[in-house]
Amino acid sequence: MRLEVLEERCAACGVCELTCALAHFKVNNPKKSAIRAEMWVLKDDVKMRIKVCRLCEEKPCIKACPSGALKFDGRRVEVDEALCTLCKKCAPACPFEGIFFHEDLRIPLVCDLCNGDPQCVRMCPTEALRVTES
């Protein structure tokens, strides 16, 4: 399974962010999340962007990691804290900008799908996030 993102429905309210941070770290801090919702203001348009791991086929983040800290375990991209050197090379490799860092935390933040029950999907008020098996 993976997250399906419907950006045209997103209202960039950020409830996914805080839900994620609370579910994983029990802290009230949307900047400690593995998902972000952003509004982009263009000249004659406004677009919402949801930045999160899509579990893409190529997984360039894993290839970009020089220390082998990122692995695909068959369900999600797993981070091995012992191997991670915080070089941050994984983040720019992600085509969906879905990897984040926070200075309090010594690992990259990558969506782990909440053990198969993504909490952000439950809480999104506009149904911009879905779970898909494809």
Partner 1 sequence: MIARGGYMNKIARVNLTKREVKVQELTEELVLNYVGGRGWGAKMLWDEVPRGVEPFFPDNKVVIATGPLTGTYFTGTGKTTLCSKSPMTGAYGDSNVGGRFGVELKQAGFDALIIEGKSDKPVYVKVFDGEVSIEKADHLWGLGSIEAEEALKRELNDRSISCLTIGPAGENLVCFASITSDFGRQAGRTGIGAVLGSKKVKAVVASGSMDIPIYDVESMIEVAREAYEYCFKNEGQKAWIRQGTMQLILWSNENSALPTRNMSEAVYEKAEMISGDAMESRVKIGNHGCFCCAMPCGQISRVKEGKFAGTVVEGPEYETAAMIGSNCALNSIEEVVKLNRLCDELGLDTISTGGVVAFAIECKRKGLLKGIEADFGDVDGIAKLVEDIAYRRGIGDLLAHGTKRVAEKLGGEAVKVAMHVKGLEISAYESRAAPAMALAYGTCDIGAHHNRAWAITYDIKVGRTLYTPDKAKWVIYLQHVRSLFDILTCCRLPWVELSLPLTYYERLYRAVTGIDRKFDDLLMVAERVYNLTRCIWLREYPHMDRSWDYPPPRWFEEGLPSGPFKGVKLDREGYGRLLDEYYRLRGWDRNGRPTKSKLRSLDLGFVVEELEKLGVDLSEG
Residue 114 touching partner 1 (CB under 8 A): no
Shortest Cβ 15–partner 1 spacing (Å)? 5
- Pick out residues in 51-110 that bind partner 1 (CB under 8 A): 102-104
Residue 113 touching partner 1 (CB under 8 A): no
Measured CA to CA, the distance from residue 6 to residue 20 in angstroms comes to 18
Please name the residue that has the structure tokens 């020089």: 66
Measured CA to CA, the distance from residue 76 to residue 73 in angstroms comes to 6
Q: Where are the alpha helices (DSSP H) in 26-134?
A: 60-64, 90-93, 119-123
Contact 89, 66 (CB under 8 A): yes
Backbone angles phi, psi at 82, to 5 degrees: -65, -30
Residue 115 touching partner 1 (CB under 8 A): no
Q: Which is nearer to partner 1, 9 or 71 (CB)?
A: 9
* Binding region for partner 1 (CB under 8 A) out of 23-31, 60-68, 69-77, 87-95: 23-31
Contact footprint for partner 1 (CB under 8 A): 8-15, 18-19, 22, 26-32, 36, 38-46, 48, 102-104, 123, 125-126
